[in-house]
Amino acid sequence: MPRWSRSYALWIAALAPLFVLIGVLVFAAFEGARRDVEVVSAQRATEVASLVDASAVSELKLAQVLASSAPLAREDMAEAYRRAAEVMALSGNWRTVVLSDPARGIEVFDLRRPLDGGPRPMADYIAAAAPGLAGPTMSDITRDRLGVYVLPLHVPVVTDRGRRYLLTVELDTAAIQALVTTRAPPGSVVAVVDRSGNFIARNVAYESRVGRPATRYVRDAIAGGRRGLYPGVTYEGFKNYTAFDTGQRTGWSAHVAVASYLVDTPRRMSLAILGVVAVACLGASGGLALVAVRRMRSRRQEEARLHQSQKMEAVGQLTGGIAHDFNNLLTAIIGGLELSLKRAAPGDPSRRYLEGALDAAARGAKLTSRLLAFSRTQRLARERVDVQAVMWGMTDLLEQSLGPRIAMSIDVAEDARWVVTDQNQLELALLNLAVNARDAMPEGGRLELSTRRTPAKGRSSHDRVEIVVADTGQGMTREVAARAFDPFFTTKEVNRGTGLGLAQVYAMARQSDGEAVIESVPGQGTRVRLRLPAAPPPLAGPDDVNARKDAVTASLRRDRRLMVVDDDAGVRGVLVDELRLLGFQVTEAASGAEALAMLERDAPDLMIVDFLMPGLTGADVAVRARELRPGQRIMFVSGHMDNAALDAAAQGAVVLRKPFVVAELAETVGRALDDAEAPQTAPSA
């Protein structure tokens, strides 16, 4: 063999491993891109399936509440018809409500026709669901009497006299279609299919496909399992790979289809470029490997952050809805207990039970407040806050909470002292973190609170103040740290915590346009970083907002005339009784229309209006009241979770959040009236 040939052979032999390495790296990069497409599609399918499941379950629970209402229990069909209309307006996603008598095979009423329209036979799809129905159920998509595709929700009803009825809610498919449209990635086809393989919603050609059978690819996939990935072709000829997942309660599946080339092209390119890279990329092989690895790591981290954000948002919406409903219940409970206590004699043995029940209701109010904070629906009083003053002001409380075996230090940097947040929520967050650190240091240790300023980065144009709470405790595993901010997640024993403490810390940071990060290693302690927007220090004197707070006095004049407008008789009755005990002259209205009719005759000094009412909402009443009586003072009472809607309707009006105690009611009414003379205590009953 010529010498030059041996030399080339040696070079080729020496470089062969490098060629192989380059080829493997390129192959891995394209395979990673293909897997990324599959993983993101699968995550989006899971997200859509979970949201559809949660939406349908929420509507079914609302139907159950209607089915268990008092008018149906006592067979007061006129009142039940009216109540059904109110609940349907509240949902906004129901097409109608039908009450059927399976024993006689007739409909008792249908909201699409008058109550006195006379009996008619049950609809076929209701008659088919009635036999053997033991509990609430969701049916697959079907046509109603008008030929419109709906999703029937069936709930059995048993009256006080033992008679059995069937309550059916026709859920509008548009509710599911809205979820699909907003969650569809660009260039993809997203659909929701029922258990029989028929389309419920679809972001492409929805009107022509709803209720129709899906392609055989879709039907074969759902027949073979609850989730997975399959190739197929849509009715429009779109060649794709589709990821799908199935809801736990509904059994309906969400399908996210992406173009086939996004998966096939990386596989073909990885083989074609292998030879080219071996010749052209010898000098850049090391850099290419480094770039590929960093890109894959960055993409995985971004996907993990996106998944966490979506999960927290979905759970937040659910917890916010639950807290909103409980606020309405707690308002009537707390008000009734306070009124009962005022009427109980000082030596009455029942006072002890009433006080215990009131204390329990107050704890329930705190729990709903935490749920609303986590769901990012509770309004925060964002203002300039002195972190140093907050920390030193909490020293005694923190030391008492930590105990004598844990040492505490505070170090606040002068340029990292002022932040924009809610001071009460910040104090509660620091207390929650301190208690969590204490439980991680059963044998004692050290807790350090410090701050530092960090420059703006990413989309933010403002510097941040990083509040660091560090302990020397047991630390957390990576798996526990990843779930630490989840609501109701706790590693503590039963009755040792609700699992809402760290979730509330996370919610406070997010609502303040900041973030919360946990760094922890088992055996080496935990460090929680709260990054909040930095605020400029005050120029001179006390902070204007705090000064105004200190100047506010809750003052009332007892000769003022008030009007209470609330459709809930229990809440309205409590409000009226409490205001009369405070010495006001009070009239009441059960609806917005009744209130406006009374307003035409006489204008009160203040209208106290429930925000969420059937028919005319609180916002509608406020607009029309100001048209009738320009300058009319209005105060909203609301447990509503949509702050944006409430803010738009309030237009400067005072808002009292449910639940509340008499003292809060008195103070808020005083601010709404802007009076100068307030009673310090309520008059005795």
Instruction: Look at domain 550-673 and name its CATH class.
Output: alpha beta
Distance CA(618)–CA(448), nearest Å, equals 48
Phi, psi (deg, nearest 5) at residue 459: -80, -15
**Per-residue model confidence as pLDDT tens digits over 534-553:** 998 886 544 443 444 333 33
CATH topology of domain 316-374: Helix Hairpins (1.10.287)
- With 50 as the cut, is the pLDDT of residue 516 above it? yes
Residue 544, pLDDT score = 45
Residue 619, pLDDT score = 86
The domain locations on the chain are 15-283, 316-374, 383-533, 550-673
Distance CA(553)–CA(530), nearest Å, equals 34
Residue 341, pLDDT score = 72
Count, in order, helices (H) and strands (E) of the chain. 21, 24
* Mean pLDDT within 9-33: 59
Residue 322, pLDDT score = 63
CATH topology of domain 383-533: Heat Shock Protein 90 (3.30.565)
Residue 288, pLDDT score = 54
Q: Nearest Cα to 653, choosing from 615, 603, 606?
A: 606
pLDDT class of 307 with cuts at 50, 70, 90:
low
pTM for the full predicted model: 0.40
pLDDT class of 554 with cuts at 50, 70, 90:
very low
Distance CA(190)–CA(203), nearest Å, equals 6
DSSP letter string over 24-46? Answer: HHHHHHHHHHHHHHHHHHHHHHH
Secondary structure (3-state) at 615: coil
